[in-house]
């Protein structure tokens, strides 16, 4: 099959049958688009012409690029290439999978960077309660920290997702839904936004069911949510890097430090594997000593 036709078939598959998010599909399109360009430059025009040696040359070329790609980026690229070739073989478009021996580089395990509780409180208190956009920003930040939601999940919320009072319905990766508690502080902040600010923002744009709206009434974007977090971090004088995932990391870390079971945190975060959640279970030596001292009958 011609390369472009094969790519279109795969993107339709991951969109319709697997229900992946627009963000994930865009990443596949970007990664595989670059792969197809390289194949064309290498003289390959049909998927039947791709061999393990061709894939090896492609990965070697990408790994030796200047500047060198991050190991996570290279791993994602290899995963995209593998997924595409597996699909072609599974659907009978090609006889075999030339990417079968491809193994992603092992990325170094890095602990998520979490804020301290004091830093979180300063961050949440940064937006001005006297300004309409400040009320919205406070609601967004409180919700992110209270639920551990991904930014994409938060900006994708509809007003109806709050209909169950003290719990919230989130739509995660692969369109999987989960129900999480929202907490009284976040609920109060969101209620203040819904009562005082959202009707005003909604009147400025086309009717939208989305919970969080921008200054002109359109649904708040992921990029705008990132700017909200960055502005709050600057105002709170937090010098460490604060990314869109920082509040999610802090949510998980603080729950585990407070004694929550790792499998409960797994459910709240929407992780398909507990191994992903266990990265948060790293605790300091001092914390281990404190737990040992207060728990073991022969510690003293």
In angstroms, the CA 53 to CA 37 distance is: 17
What are phi and psi for residue 46, nearest 5 degrees?
-130, 145
Active site residues: 150, 173, 245, 248, 271, 280
At 243 the three-state DSSP class reads coil
pLDDT of residue 290: 63
Structure tokens at 245: 């995932």
In angstroms, the CA 189 to CA 140 distance is: 8
pLDDT of residue 243: 82
Q: DSSP label at 221?
A: P
44, 63 contact by CB (below 8 A): no
H/E stretch holding 69 reads none
Question: CA angle 244-29-279, nearest 5°?
Answer: 40
Q: What CATH code would you report for 3-90?
A: 1.10.150.130
Among 139, 131, 111, 124, smallest CA distance to 238 is for 124
pLDDT of residue 284: 44
42, 54 contact by CB (below 8 A): yes
Q: Which CATH superfamily is domain 117-242 in?
A: Intergrase catalytic core (1.10.443.10)
Output the CA torsion sign for 110, 116, 120, 123. Answer: negative
- Domain ranges in the chain are 3-90, 117-242
pLDDT along the chain (300 residues), means of 10: 91 84 86 93 92 91 83 85 92 89 64 83 95 96 93 92 82 79 92 95 89 93 92 93 86 86 85 72 55 66
DSSP code per residue over 117-156: HHHHHHHHT-S-TTSHHHHHHHHHHHHHHHH---HHHHHT
Structure tokens at 97: 């999978």
In angstroms, the CA 117 to CA 100 distance is: 46
């Amino acid at each position: 099959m011609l390369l472009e036709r094969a790519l279109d078939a795969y993107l339709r598959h991951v969109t319709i049958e697997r229900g992946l998010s627009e963000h994930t599909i865009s990443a596949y399109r970007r990664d595989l688009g670059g792969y197809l360009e390289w194949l064309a430059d290498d003289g390959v025009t049909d998927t039947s012409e791709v061999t393990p040696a061709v894939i090896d040359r492609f990965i070697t070329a990408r790994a030796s690029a200047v500047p060198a790609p991050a190991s996570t980026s290279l791993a994602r690229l290899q995963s995209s290439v593998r997924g595409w070739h597996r699909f072609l073989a599974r659907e009978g478009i090609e006889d075999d999978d030339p990417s079968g021996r491809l193994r992603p580089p092992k990325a170094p395990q890095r602990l998520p960077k979490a804020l301290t509780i004091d830093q979180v409180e300063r961050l949440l208190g940064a937006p001005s309660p006297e300004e309409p956009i400040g009320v919205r920003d406070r609601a967004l930040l409180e919700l992110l920290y209270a639920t551990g939601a991904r930014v994409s999940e938060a900006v994708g919320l509809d007003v109806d997702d709050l209909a169950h009072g003290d719990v919230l319905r989130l739509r995660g990766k692969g369109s999987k839904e989960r129900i999480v508690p929202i907490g009284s502080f976040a609920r109060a902040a969101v209620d203040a936004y819904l009562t005082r600010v959202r009707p005003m923002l909604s009147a400025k744009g086309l009717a939208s069911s989305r919970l969080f709206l921008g200054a002109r009434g359109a649904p708040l974007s992921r990029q705008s949510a990132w700017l909200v977090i960055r502005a709050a971090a600057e105002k709170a004088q937090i010098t460490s890097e604060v990314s869109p995932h920082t509040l999610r990391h802090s949510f998980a870390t603080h729950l585990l430090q407070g004694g929550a079971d790792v499998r409960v945190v797994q459910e709240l975060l929407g992780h398909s594997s507990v191994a992903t959640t266990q990265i948060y279970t790293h605790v300091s030596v001092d914390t281990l000593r404190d737990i040992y001292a207060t728990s073991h009958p022969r510690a003293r």
